[in-house]
Amino acid sequence: MSNKIAIILLVCIGLVLLLAISELPLYGAPDNSAQNYVSERYIEGAVSDTGALNMVSAIVIDYRAYDTLIETTVLFTAVIAVFMVLKKAPDRKGEPK
C-alpha cells in the first residue's frame, strides 16, 4: 500500500518538474535572463578593471574574492575535521599516546 502511495507521489513530483523544465528558455538563446549586463560588464571590463588576461582568475579572485576567501576556509575546515577524527590527543605530559 505505501509503495503505491510513494509511486503516485513520485509521478506527481516528476510531472511538476517536467512542467518547470518545459518553461525554461532555450540554451544559449539571446534573450536569456543569464545574458544580462553583468556578464557584459565582466567580458568588457575584466582586463581594464583587474589587469588579468585570464578572465576566470579575474572573476574568481577579484570580482568574487569573498567567495574564494570562504572557499579556502572550506579546505581548512576539511583538514580540521580529519584531524578531529584521526589525530590522537596528547596526554598531560605532552606526549602523543
Q: Which residues bind other proteins (CB under 8 A)?
A: 47, 49-54, 56-58, 60-62, 65-66, 68-69, 72-73, 75-76, 78-79, 82-83, 86-87
Q: Which is nearer to other proteins, 37 or 76 (CB)?
A: 76
For residue 6, count CB atoms less than 10 angstroms from its CB and return exposed for 0-12, middle for 13-18, buried for 19 or more. exposed
Q: Which is nearer to other proteins, 39 or 73 (CB)?
A: 73
Say how far residue 27 (Cα) sits from the centre of its chain: 20
Q: Say how far apart CA 4 and CA 66 lie, in whole Å.
A: 48
- What's the closest the beta carbon of residue 36 comes to other proteins, in angstroms? 23
Beta strands in the chain (DSSP E): none
Grid cell locating 4: 503505491
- What's the closest the beta carbon of residue 21 comes to other proteins, in angstroms? 32
Q: Which is nearer to other proteins, 11 or 47 (CB)?
A: 47
- The C-alpha cell 575546515 sits at 77
- What's the closest the beta carbon of residue 86 comes to other proteins, in angstroms? 5
